[in-house]
Homo-oligomer: A and B are copies of this chain.
Amino acid sequence: MTTKHTTGTLSRERLVKAAQDLHWKHGVAATTPRQVLERSGVGQGSLYHHFPTKRDLSLAAVTRTVEEMLESARSTLLASSTPPQRIREYLSHPRDAVAGCRVGRLTADAAVMSDSELQNLIADYFVELIAIVTDVFAEDGMDRTKAQQRATAAIATVQGGYVISRALGDPQPMADAINGMLELLEQKSST
């Protein structure tokens, strides 16, 4: 990869960051170039210099968001504690439940779902996240099929917690869902 010949392009960074924030609040389709300009403080021409179309900016911002979210998940799930502890820490990780998941909410976004490249980004996010969590369960001796089902259920609980908490405008459902799942995972089994 060749280094950019300019001095870092601060405008580009500001544009991507502004787009990420607006995507989280309003979604990709509902984020307008004007909002990005206002929030970033960058001028009209600069936006279209760095990103010829709205889609180019969306692609850059969503790519960045997925990278950040995966890095956060890895820092918890690849820690040095025991597998059950890492699962517990992942599930009880502090979340702004009412704001929703930055990636998960994009599955209801027309601009993302109608563009295969954008959709692939969020597909890869969940494929990778499921793989990481599955490995943690499997590490504990569970067979791979069961580990994957349990991992998917755990991640679904978090995603569903976001959905319900957003619907109610209340973080409690997320807390309930996580506690319900933790209780199920940690009960003594006689199987």
Contact = CB atoms under 8 A, between A and B. Distances in A.
B27 A126 contact: no
Identical chains bound together, number: 2
A150 interface: yes
Contact of A122 (B160, B167, B177, B190): B167
Contacts of A126: 164, 167-168, 173
A109 B107 contact: no
Nearest to A116: B169
Contact of A157 (B26, B30, B157): B157
A100 B108 contact: yes
Given A30-B110, A119-B167, A181-B184, 17 more contacts: A100-B107, A104-B163, A106-B167, A123-B167, A123-B169, A130-B164, A146-B183, A149-B177, A150-B183, A151-B180, A153-B176, A153-B184, A154-B180, A156-B156, A156-B159, A156-B177, A156-B181
Interface of A: 26-27, 29-30, 100-101, 103-110, 113, 119, 122-123, 125-127, 130, 146, 148-164, 166-169, 173, 176-181, 183-185, 187-191
22 contacts: A27-B110, A29-B29, A29-B30, A105-B107, A105-B108, A107-B108, A107-B167, A108-B108, A126-B173, A127-B168, A149-B180, A152-B164, A152-B176, A153-B177, A153-B184, A157-B160, A158-B160, A159-B159, A160-B161, A187-B187, A189-B189, A190-B190
